[in-house]
Amino acid sequence: MLTVTFGKRLAGFALDVRWEASEAVVALVGPSGSGKTLTLHCLAGLVRPDSGRVALDDLVLFDAAAGIDRPPRTRRLGYVFQGYALFPHLSVRDNIAFGLKGWPSARRRERTEMVIERLGLGGLEARSPRELSGGQQQRVALGRALATDPDLLLLDEPLSALDAPLRRQLRDDLARTIREWGKVTVVVTHDLSEAYQLADRVVVYEHGRVLQSAPKSELLWRPASESVARIMGMRNILHGTVLKASPDRIQLRWRGQTLEAVNSPSRAYLPPPGSPIAFFIRPEYVRLIRKDRGAPDPHHHMNLMRGTVVSQADFGTIWTLAIRLDEPGPPAQGDHDLEVEVPRLVHEILELDRDHRWEFSIHRGSIQVLPA
């Protein structure tokens, strides 16, 4: 169990965070400059917070009130820095063994060999960091951090220095490695898919504050606010007016449509009728209705709407459509009201190249309300 509470004032920036994690892997996401790396520095003891407490299980790393501030070297942690910070004047082997200084030489050699092997760095032991590829450097950095058998593993943008195709593959490797080694891990990333794949819990940062800390499934479906939704990269963030609110459902008016959405379970959110409300619709959950099966059944198809595809984009495996509703008035998002994602197969079957007028439905569970 990792409990983190602290505040830190810097020139022009105030960090005030509080979150807890019993999960093995936590991802800190948010825009750059929101305090994620600073949080890692505080967890590592490289920066001293002004107040608060950091504890890993029963080991207190920092406690302002009790005057405890363990120096980095006693915190039993491994840190993979952004850009890896490999020692340029040491070989791969010496980099990895760097943290093992006090160990008896036989054990040190053994451990280093084990790490090298497990991370697939065999054959590279004598090379110097600048002779390695980006992926190899990343693995050396990881190996160096893991060699000391830390209790806490901190990763700062572990994949951002790599180019896209490599990143995909290494992400899988990294996820697997993290799970194999089983350390409590905190990963900082601005890449959401990275956060989803690597972590069990996601903590969302903005301007030095925590907007939401939740297991990733909850976050995916129930962002706590519009800010969180934006940071998580959710699309179709829309604004309507409340018609009726009950604990499990909210009826709202948007672009001339009456929509029914599920209410956010994290709060008993009961906005009064007539008040503004933010919500989002997942693009991949908008159902285009086949025209060869007769008129749609209103019980089967909720939130039925009608519109025209004004533009489409091909992303290889999926197509993204921009749909404008058959409603007078300006569309909600520039030239369109909704973004819809369809798999390639569906795109072909429905002949979306040719046919642009469609009816579509959205299950109420796919319209998520964003509490203010």
Q: How far is the CB of 124 from another protein (least distance, A)?
A: 18
In DSSP terms, 51 is beta-bridged to 7
Tokens 């409590």 locate to 184
Nearer to another protein, 30 or 45 (CB): 45
Q: How far is the CB of 147 from another protein (least distance, A)?
A: 9
Q: How far is the CB of 89 from another protein (least distance, A)?
A: 4
- Burial class of residue 293 in the structure, from the number of CB atoms within 10 Å of its CB (0-12 exposed, 13-18 middle, 19+ buried): exposed
Nearer to another protein, 5 or 37 (CB): 37
- CA–chain centroid gap for 39, Å, is 16
Q: How far is the CB of 341 from another protein (least distance, A)?
A: 40
Nearer to another protein, 152 or 362 (CB): 152
Nearer to another protein, 150 or 307 (CB): 150
* Strand 201-206 to 25-29 pairing: parallel
Radius of gyration from C-alpha coordinates of the chain: 25
Sheet holding 13-21, edge to edge: 68-69, 59-63, 51-56, 2-10, 13-21, 209-215, 201-206, 25-29, 184-188, 152-156, 77-80
Nearer to another protein, 78 or 223 (CB): 78
Note the residues at the interface with another protein (CB under 8 A).
44-46, 71-73, 75, 77-79, 81-83, 85, 87-89, 98-99, 101-102, 128, 144-145, 148
Nearer to another protein, 81 or 269 (CB): 81
Q: How far is the CB of 309 from another protein (least distance, A)?
A: 49
Question: Cα–Cα distance between 59 and 152 in angstroms, integer?
Answer: 11
DSSP 333: B
Q: How far is the CB of 182 from another protein (least distance, A)?
A: 19
